[in-house]
Structure 1
Amino acid sequence: MRKTRAETKDRNRRALLEAAHRIVARDGHRARLDEIAEQAGLTTGAVYSLFGSKNDLLIALVTDYLAPHYDGIEQAVSPEMGVAETVEVFARHYRRTCDDPDALRRLSFEISLQDLALRDPGLRSKLAASVRAHEERLTALLSGRSHDGHALTPAQAHRLATALRALLVGLSQGVILGLAENASADYFAAAARALVTPAVLGPAQPPSSR
């Protein structure tokens, strides 16, 4: 059965993403576009056709890397859950990813990509925008949930999402690198819940503009 053009495009896109993931994790800022294309069995022209540029390919990788965290939490959290329970579920989900057999390779890719972004202002701004977009998904998930008898405002949800992401990324790296072997799922959940404080959330209502 012949593949449709859309199926071929999707296969080629996936092949380039997988090749880029391997090579960036291995070579960091020395990763070469021609080698990525070669390992995918394609030409550099395919990269430009499917992604627009090497940087756009790398940003697509970030989306590919981060999306499962947020897809998983959105599926695991029910609308009835309050803020504290929601952040605990998210933290436990993050902890489970540390036990994935591919966790070390994913961390190598993440650090290598950050190194690339530090050297390339254009990539740095695109990377920041991509991370913010995923953070906004978490903000939307938290916003309106109950805490101490009040619904979390979008501003409070955003402050909590920023702190929560930073905490869990750091803890996860510690587990994967062997610096926090005893950080269990319960520890992740307790650390995440400790962020749900007035100091982190900020005021329930914005200050008057009078």
Structure 2
Amino acid sequence: MTRAETKERNRRSLLDAAFQVVSRDGYRATLDEIADQAGLTTGAIYSLFGSKGGLVAALVTDHLRPHYEEIEQAIPAEMGLLEAVEAFARYYRRSCDAPAATSALSLQITLLDMALHDPELGAQLAASVRTQESHLIALFTGRSHNGKAVTSHQAQRLVTALRAVFVGLTQGVVLGLAPGADEQYFVDTACALASNAALVDQDADAAV
């Protein structure tokens, strides 16, 4: 095994261990336990990720990247804005029924708790999420809506609103608190947001 292969294997082992330990212990998770779970030393964590915050931020990226890649595949470039939003909504709703939906929600809640207890870590987590969301903003930018192309600023406003709604609805579905939130409900809610003139059609940059 080459040095690069060993490094990647150790990185993968630490991310998998962090997922297990962080999901269970939240902000109380220690580097010692994560390293022990991975069969490595804390030195490996500092070498590969720089700090506990760096490891947790990498965990968020590792967790989110596959989802954003699947979303990009589910929304072809030729779709208009509302078609794209509908496809996005359907993807999000179907993810609620995935086998890993409960563990994903558990990790999400745990990470929020960690961010509240550690502002520096919270800033790193926010930066990691924003990096992933930039792919969504690019995905919606330029799509046709009401005869115009959606600007980057408009796409950013829309992504912020859609993510907030979908995260809340997903939590409700997984916890059994939103029994009527089926796939069409997700679609209708998302398209209502995307059709709102104040949200999409007005570009704040023009008012500055």
For the criterion TM > 0.5, the same-fold answer is yes
Identity, in percent, stands at: 59
Going from structure 1 to structure 2, the CA distance change for 1:208 and 1:187 (only over 3 Å counts) comes to closer
Deviations 1:86-112 (A, max 9, x none): 111111111121112121112111111
Query: In the TM superposition, what are the counterparts of 1:182-201 in structure 2 within 5 Å?
Result: 182-196=180-194, 197-201=196-200
Aligned Cα root-mean-square deviation (Å):
1.4
Q: Does 1:102 align with 2:100?
A: yes
Amino acid at match of 1:32: T
**Cα offset for 1:191?**
1.1
Could you tell me which residue of structure 1 aligns to residue 178 of structure 2? 180
Distance in 2 between residues matched to 1:113 and 1:179, nearest whole Å: 21
Gaps spanning 5+ residues in structure 2: where? none
Partner of 2:153: 155
Q: Distance in 2 between matches of 1:129 and 1:171?
A: 23
Q: Distance in 2 between matches of 1:190 and 1:200?
A: 16
Partner residue of 1:203? 202
- C-alpha deviation, 1:205, in angstroms: 7.3
Give the corresponding residue for 2:163: 165
Q: Give the total of aligned pairs.
A: 207
> Structure 1 segments of 4 or more deviating over 2 A?
204-209
> Is 2:36 aligned against 1:38?
yes
- Partners of 2:180 and 2:46 lie apart in 1 by 45
SS in 1 for 2:206: coil
CA contact (8 A) 1:69 1:93 kept: no
Q: 2:66 is matched with which residue?
A: 68
TM-score after normalising by structure 1 = 0.94
Q: CA deviation at 1:158?
A: 0.8
Higher helix share: 2
